[in-house]
Amino acid sequence: DGGITQSPKYLFRKEGQNVTLSCEQNLNHDAMYWYRQDPGQGLRLIYYSQIVNDFQKGDIAEGYSVSREKKESFPLTVTSAQKNPTAFYLCASRSQGNEQFFGPGTRLTVL
Amino acid sequence: RKEVEQDPGPFNVPEGATVAFNCTYSNSASQSFFWYRQDCRKEPKLLMSVYSSGNEDGRFTAQLNRASQYISLLIRDSKLSDSATYLCVVNQGFQKLVFGTGTRLLVSP
Return the pLDDT at A56: 95
Return the pLDDT at B94: 63
Sequence-ordered list of residues with C-beta below 8 angstroms from that of A96, at least 6 positions apart, any chain: none
Check pLDDT > 90 for residue A6: yes
Distances (CA, A) of A109 to A12, A48, A67, B41, B66: 5, 23, 22, 14, 41
CA distance A51 to A70: 9
Record: contact A104-B87, CB cut-off 8 A: no
CA distance B2 to A104: 27
Confidence of residue A1 (pLDDT cuts 50, 70, 90): low
Neighbours of A97 (CB within 10 A): 7
Q: Which of A55, A67, A63 is nearest to A83 (CA)?
A: A63
Confidence of residue B95 (pLDDT cuts 50, 70, 90): low
Percentage, residues of chain A above pLDDT 90: 81
Contact assessment for residue A107 and residue A8, using Cβ atoms and an 8 Å cutoff: no
CA distance B80 to A47: 36
Mean pLDDT, chain A, rounded, equals: 93
Contact assessment for residue B8 and residue B104, using Cβ atoms and an 8 Å cutoff: yes
Q: How far off is chain B from A39, nearest CA to CA, in Å?
A: 9
For residue B101, give the nearest of A35, A40, A104 by CB distance.
A40
Report strand pairing: A54-57 vs A44-51.
antiparallel
Return the pLDDT at A2: 66
pLDDT tens track for A44-70: 999 999 999 999 999 999 999 999 999
For residue B34, give the nearest of A50, A88, A99 by CB distance.
A99
Q: Residue range A28-57: average pLDDT? A: 93
For residue B43, give the nearest of A40, A45, A104 by CB distance.
A104
Check pLDDT > 80 for residue A106: yes
Record: contact A105-B43, CB cut-off 8 A: yes
Q: A103 to chain B: which residues are within 8 Å by CB?
A: 43
Check pLDDT > 80 for residue B60: yes
